[in-house]
Structure 1
């Protein structure tokens, strides 16, 4: 049985508690021990993080201390996985390049209104293998990314392929990211829900 730590908070518009509760329930059904937290001081708890196989981070914007980010970085570098979706993972702590080095990308822009767009999985990585293209109507993130990430799904913006789903590694830790997830309904799209569950499983130690 693995240990999962779900850290949630920040901007309430992304419904961090409700969104993470969706996956906390699924992970518990699979037999995992899940610890939930509404404080970033969780990243100062070295003993808990040593036990953790996976961190689900859902904290939009906000500010973390250098010590909190260092605690998270140390855990992932040592092998604890990290996963999440949308602004809860890649719009956290905008002023912290050290945090962005862990996730491999950072939100930079979305159109003012919701957009209907196609998400196209690519390649045969376990996170997307066998999943076909699907359509969402939500915020469409444009991101700055580390060239070292491995992209597993894209969408077209002005003729360019923009990453939607990717994985990366930070030290010994695996990191899973999807940019979709502004509303709870975005997590309920079957293909996207499956990608998230696979991504969290892949990232786990």
Structure 2
């Protein structure tokens, strides 16, 4: 059995602290037996020799642009079994012009109305036995950005949040959107979470444990 490899790709907009947030999970990956490789450029996605041997990509790259050969390399790797995982803008507000990336991940950030607000995140009762959320509190109260994401039906949604109508917003009814989901794409698995704006948020015990489990869930199994 070979040692599995986790590739941490971090960069883009510094406001989401791609270094600080990813460093929170590097020890957990190593404890799980992964050889962790860290890259600060997207070119690695175009390197077939690296990507074919990568069992998990942890991406924290807010906005920016991805080149066609980089996108092709990432997509092919996932379809062939490489896991892809991330949180907040590092996964869900990356490469705004790359619709093929949005198709791969299954969701795209479009807004966080009223910026930082008090809101709740709920585990979907029918998915409460999923290994990523099993045993975690069914409801979590947070004061942070409440992401509004657009997703599709291929996502297995584990957690949601509801954007309530209020005087400062234009919608009239509560709008429930995904917070955490998984996705199978070809032979690969994808884990996405809208939480994680800062190191402090990712240090919250429930959030940290849920993301840690999500990373391990997405990874390809031992080969």
Output the TM-score relative to the length of structure 2: 0.89
1:47-58 matches, within 5 Å, as: 47-58=49-60
- Structure 1 residue aligned with 2:145: 139
Q: Provide the C-alpha distance between the structure 1 equivalents of 2:13 and 2:135, rounded to a whole number of angstroms.
A: 34
Could you tell me which residue of structure 1 aligns to residue 162 of structure 2? 156
* CA-based RMSD: 1.0
Q: Which moved more, 1:115-124 or 1:141-150?
A: 115-124
In the alignment, the residues of structure 2 paired with residue 121 and residue 40 of structure 1 have an alpha-carbon distance, to the nearest angstrom, of 33
Structure 2 stretches of 5 or more lacking a match? Answer: 165-173
Q: Residue 101 of structure 1 is aligned with which of 83, 100, 103?
A: 103
Q: Displacement of 1:29 after TM fit?
A: 2.8
| Displacement after TM superposition at 1:113 (Å) | 2.7
* 1:26 counterpart = 2:28: yes
Superposed, which structure 2 residues align to 1:39-188 within 5 Å?
39-122=41-124, 123=127, 124-132=129-137, 133-158=139-164, 159-188=174-203
Number of paired residues? Answer: 205
Unaligned runs of 5+ in 1: none
Runs of at least 4 residues off by over 6 Å: none
SS at match of 2:207: helix
Task: Calculate the TM-score normalised by the size of structure 1.
Answer: 0.97
Deviations 1:22-47, CA, capped at 9 Å, x for gaps: 11122113321000000000101111
Bigger-Rg structure (1/2): 2
